[in-house]
Structure 1
Amino acid sequence: MAEDEHKAELVDALAHSRAHITGNALALGRDLDFVSRARRAFKTHPAVWIGGAVLLGLVISRLPLRRKAPAAAPRKGKNAEPTIEKVEKAGLLLGALKIAFDIARPTIMGWATRRVAEYFEAGNRGGTTRR
């Protein structure tokens, strides 16, 4: 009899501990959900958030600009012209690469989106379950 009472006490203690741990896990999940907390805070106090953003923008705009380092003296002699030509060629190459990338960006984004979707679909079919 005493053994049955002891088992019943242990079962009650375990049930209480499980309920306590479940409550703590739910509270932790709510505390770590920064997106919904930020949305809720913005909805309840929009003037404070907008005022803070304006104030932060003003502070950032008033920060002193970083001074540029003095430019190196131009080269004299034989090496002056080839250096300028190399810079011009590099600028043209970078401009052409930017145009090519801007044209290819939709294709690259579509390919990357499909790859990521395939990766997550393959992970879901792998037999792993979430609890």
Structure 2
Amino acid sequence: AKGGKVAVEGWAEASELGVIELAKRFEGAGVAAIIYTDIDRDGILAGINWASTLELADAVSISVIASGGLASIEDIKRMLQPDAAKLEGAISGRALYDGRIDPSEALALIKAAKGVDA
């Protein structure tokens, strides 16, 4: 998404189609999950666009996976808040590659939040 609209042409252009409108078209079509990437944040380590991601998750019955912007352990902690429980997960790329997120610390936080022995 770019500005709430579906991005096309290799993310270079935003269409007139809204993200939620497109997502609703896939309900009942057997789609297992939607990976929601806010391309304004992808790769710049600005943090996930929580408002838009959670708005999408609230609007559809399909599982939503957050993507684009996961920047720090604070985003992992935010993902574990009750209002984000509706999300299926999150994708991290650059923050893992450059060491901003310690995978062991992130997994320990997730396991503790879920009541699983570390």
On whether the aligned pair clears a TM of 0.5, the verdict is no
* Bigger radius of gyration: 1
Identify the TM-score tier after normalising by the shorter chain: under 0.3
Q: Higher strand proportion, which one? A: 2
